Amino acid sequence: MEFRASHILVKDQATADKLYERVKRGESFEVLARQYSTCPSKSKGGDLGWFKEGQMVPAFENAVRKMGTGTISKPVRSQFGFHIIKKTGVRD
């Protein structure tokens, strides 16, 4: 199983909560990722590309596995900070 996702990675819960609310109100996920994410993927609007099971940290992967394609997660905590995840694909 492979997944495709984008994310916005920030250091603190308060920032993650504010960005999540902005995305839910209709602001562009990709624009917010470019402006606020601390991950190098920000240059691609947060796009992480395709990844296989076991390639991402467990908290991130578990969240992506449970999400429907096209949905956006509430902030998910990992050792890297807080992720707002947009699942963009799944394939066998």
Q: How far apart are CA 80 and CA 11, in angstroms?
A: 7
Planar angle of CA 5, 91, 44, nearest 5 degrees = 25
Average pLDDT, the chain: 97
CATH assignment of the domain containing 48: 3.10.50.40
Predicted local confidence at residue 79, as pLDDT: 96
Report the domain count for the chain: 1
Q: Residue 49 belongs to what domain range?
A: 2-91
Predicted local confidence at residue 49, as pLDDT: 97
49-70: pLDDT as tens digits: 999 999 999 999 999 999 999 9
Which parts of the chain sit beneath pLDDT 70? none
Is this prediction's pTM over 0.85? yes
Q: What does each C-alpha distance from 52 to 3, 13, 48, 67, 86 come to in angstroms?
A: 6, 27, 12, 15, 16
